[in-house]
Each structure stands twice: as C-alpha cells, then as structure tokens.
Amino acid sequence: CSSDLHSNLLATLSERFYGHLDTLDYVGASRFAQQANLKLDKYKAHFVGAGSNHNFDWRLLAAMSYQESHWNPNAKSFTGVRGMMMLTEDTADHLRVSNRLDPKQSIRAGSQYFSDLRDMLPDTVREPDRTWLAIAAYNLGMGHFNGARHIAQGLKKDPDSWYEMKAVLPLLAR
C-alpha cells in the first residue's frame, strides 16, 4: 500500500536525521568537546590520511575511534581488544599491525578493516545504509553481524536497511 510505503519512508528519514537526539545529552556533548580539545589535534593527521586512503571522511574515523576508545591509544577492553580503534589480536595480525597501541598503526588498520567490512556487504546495500551497517559490523564483528542479518530475514525485515537492522541488532543478545 502506498500509505505504508510513505509511512516507512517518513520513519526512516526521521531516524536518519533525528534518531540520535535522545542519546546525546549535555554531559556527553561536553565531554566530547573537552576530549576533542585535548586529544584530537594530536591524531588528526592520522585520521585524515587513513580517511583519504579509503575514501572516508576523516571525521567518521575519528568519531568511531572516540566511541571505541575515547582516543586513548592504551585502551583495553575485558575482551582483549586494544588501542585507539580497539582491534582484536587476529585483526591486527591480519592487517600487519605490530603494535596495537601505536596510534598511527591502529588508525591505519581500523580504517582498512572498516573499508574491508564495507566492501563485504552485498551490492544490494546502498549508501548511507552501507556505511551505517559497516559501522555495526565493525563493532560486532562480521560473523555476529551476518547472524543479525539472518534474524532480520526471518522476521521479514530488510537486512540492507539500517533503520530496520537497528531494531534487530538487540535481538542478538538473546
């Protein structure tokens, strides 16, 4: 029905442009601004170079790194991922990273990994969904992300749509 299509399009556009507003608060924005003033200039050239190499806006890579590690080159999670881009040991080895704590290597490899994930998505995935889905795969790993795509298909959701996958991803925890 045309009405359903129109309603879905409006919901998708609303999510794309306003979906983040409930998660960004004054404290978070203030902390980000403080961290940007203290740390970002030190690493900006690495983000710009890596973004240029893979056709990404450097600010996207910087935002991903902030989300992963708050631009802390020595970051470590309980799962063993390390560095500014929070690389697993296997991913770092695959991308020839000798030191995950070296910001330049971490940013270069994180950008390459993100590019590889984006390229692994089916050709049916169009922008901007392709970028959003690649970010999700970066965070989850491609195996878990493909599991979520399979769940989406079983629920009659579009696995190529970020709007629909965003609702499916929490189901992986079950």
b or e along 126-137 (b: 16 or more beta carbons within 10 Å of the residue's beta carbon)? Answer: eeebbbbbbbbb
**What is the model's pLDDT at position 56?**
92
**Of 107, 108, 146, 143, nearest in space to 125 by CA:** 146
The list of the chain residues with pLDDT below 50 reads: none
Number of Cβ within 10 Å of residue 35's Cβ equals 14
Cα separation of 114 and 106, whole Å? 12
**What is the model's pLDDT at position 15?**
63
**What is the model's pLDDT at position 152?**
96
Instruction: Give me the DSSP letters along 54-96.
Output: HT--HHHHHHHHHHHHTT-TT-B-TT--BTTTTB-HHHHHHTT
Dig out the tokens for 58 from the structure: 């450097």
Q: For residue 64, how many C-alpha atoms fall within 13 Å in the half-sphere facing its CB?
A: 30
**What is the model's pLDDT at position 96?**
96
82, β-bridge pairs? 76, 87
**What is the model's pLDDT at position 18?**
54
**What is the model's pLDDT at position 116?**
97
Cα separation of 162 and 100, whole Å? 30
Give catalytic residues, as residue numbers.
68
Find how far residue 45's CA is from the centre of its chain: 20
